[in-house]
Each structure stands twice: as C-alpha cells, then as structure tokens.
A = this chain, B = another copy of it.
Amino acid sequence: MDIADLSGKILNQDRRALARAITLVESGRADHRNQAAELLEQLRGSGRQALRIGLSGTPGVGKSTFIESFGLYLTGLDKRVAVLAVDPSSARSGGSILGDKTRMDLLSRDPNAFIRPSPSQNHLGGVARRSREAVALCEAAGYDIVLVETVGVGQSETVVAEMSDLFLLLLAPAGGDELQGVKRGIMEMADMILVNKADGDLKSAAMRTCADYSGALRLLRRRPQDPDGFPKAMTVSALENQGLAKAWEDMTGLVAWRKQQGHWDSRRASQAQYWFLEELRQGVLAQLQTGAIKAQIGGLSKAVEAGEITPSSAAEQILTGLNLRLE
C-alpha cells in the first residue's frame, strides 16, 4: 500500500481513501500496524482539528434517530460530519450491534457525512486505539465534527470521553424513580444531558426527567472547565427535529468559552498523556506473554490451578524477581 498516496488522498477529502485508511488502522496484522503508524505520522502535521463529540446512550433512547437528525442539521449548516462507533461489547458477543448504516438512511446518503459502522472486533484491548486513530483520520480528512457514539457498556464511556472534546449523554424520558439508574460516574463525565423523545405522549415525561437531571447536575462538584450553567440538561426531539439548534448553540458556546479559557488545549494535552500511558500499559502487559517470563507464568499458573500455591503468593514470586529494565 502506498502510504504517501493514501495520505494525500485523505487530505484531499477522498472518502474511499478514508474508509480504506480506517480499515488499515483496524487491522491487527503487524505490517498493517506499521503502515498505520506511518500514515498517522504523515497526517499529524495537517493541523486540522475537528470538534470531537462523544455520545453515550443505552439502546432504546433513540440514539440512531438523534444522530441522523443532528447530523443532518449540521450538514445543513454546511458542516462535514463523521460518525464513528466505539463498541467494546461487540468483542464479546462477536458481532457489531452498532453502526448499521441502515439505521441512518438519510445521513448515510449525505455527501457531507461519513458513517463508519463499528468493526467486528477481534481483540478488545485494541478497541480504544483503533477508535482514536479513526478519529485522527477523520480530522485529517477535514471533517468539522466527529461524532463518536457508544452504548453504555462497561468502560466504553470513559474510553469515548477521553477521546472527545464534548461528552453528551442521551436519555429517554423515565418514570419517577429511575434517576438513580444513570451511574454517577457517567453523569460526572457529561457536558450535556439530552433527554430525547420530547414529543407526543412522552413530552411531559421528558420535561420532568430533564428537570430531575438538572437538579442532579446542580449537586455535582463544579468542574473548572465549565462556565456558568454547565453541565446542563435539556430536552430534544430527534423525531421532530426540536431542540437541535438550541443544543448546537449551547455546544458551540461551551467550546468557544473553553478555547478562550485554555481548557480546550489543556484537555487535549491531558488526553494525549492518558493515551500514552494507556498504550504503554497495554504494551507492557502484552510483553508478559512472550519469552522466558511467559514460560514461568505458565508454570506458576498450573501450580495455582492445582491449589499448590495461592494466587497472591504466585504473583508475588514473579513480581519480586522482575526487573523492568530499559536497554
């Protein structure tokens, strides 16, 4: 594969080249990994920055409809929009549950939109890196907004929040005491909570849910990266295209404030540090599965299985003899 050629095409906003490049970063093959690294290095200098929006919502809240409506709203403003999915859970169940283009029929045919279905994942550890690299590719391809969606499974919200400038939580109208169903950790990550389905019979329930969350958000510790009024909850109707303009206005206001205050740059910098340490950790753990140490671990593992030694003692035995040495 001619990486310089691919790089040039991506910078020229060639969608097919972008799609091929994402396939490349999704590959686990060693030669593909090297090519992907080279490509990303070449594109690093583009200087293009998209607004990266993380979007979390469990199945049933109308996420696809929201992305379709919000995406079309943005392309209507002459923005170029890319949609990516982070879905660690599909690694387990063995198939993609997100990213089906048929869910977003109109948006997927919009020339200013790029929708990437989530790949069927083979190795869980690489999900975050591949998603992050796909975001970088979309940025280099000149997309103004990169929407990264995730379903609320395990640590996927953290992964998405750490690669996003804004983190949105999409909810459906809830019954009376369901407020506690949303985990506090997720609430603390959110910049905005959007209560969807504020239409028809559900409209008043949506408004009550929104008021409940507004109250809950006020109880959270104020974060330095938030201007007055943020994080905030608001109602939208993706079905009826209600509230999307207001939501976008709030997002751009928040972004402008953060850029002015220096929070935008510092967040990107600390995210880079986070990913550096995360890749380092993953890489170190991968090295446990090679060479002499792999053999010793295998032997001790058998002894642990046979009950001849406790798990802690076995781990200690390796750890005391271990030396993380730089050559």
Binding site for B on A (CB under 8 A): 37, 40-41, 44, 58-60, 89, 92-93, 129, 133, 153-155, 175, 177-178, 180-181, 183-185, 188, 269-270, 272-273, 275-281, 283-285, 287-288, 291-293, 296-297, 300-301, 304-307, 310-316, 318-319, 321-327
Contact = CB atoms under 8 A, between A and B. Distances in A.
21 contacts: A44-B310, A60-B178, A93-B184, A129-B312, A154-B155, A154-B185, A269-B304, A269-B306, A272-B304, A272-B311, A273-B304, A276-B301, A277-B301, A280-B288, A280-B319, A281-B285, A283-B315, A285-B285, A291-B324, A322-B327, A323-B327
B287 A319 contact: yes
B153 A155 contact: no
A214 to B, nearest CB: 20
Contacts of A287: 319, 322, 324
B58 A181 contact: yes
A27 to B, nearest CB: 15
A58 B58 CA distance: 15
A300 B283 CA distance: 16
B153 A312 contact: no
A60 B293 CA distance: 47
Contacts of A293: 324-326
Contacts of A183: 89, 153-154
Contacts of A129: 312
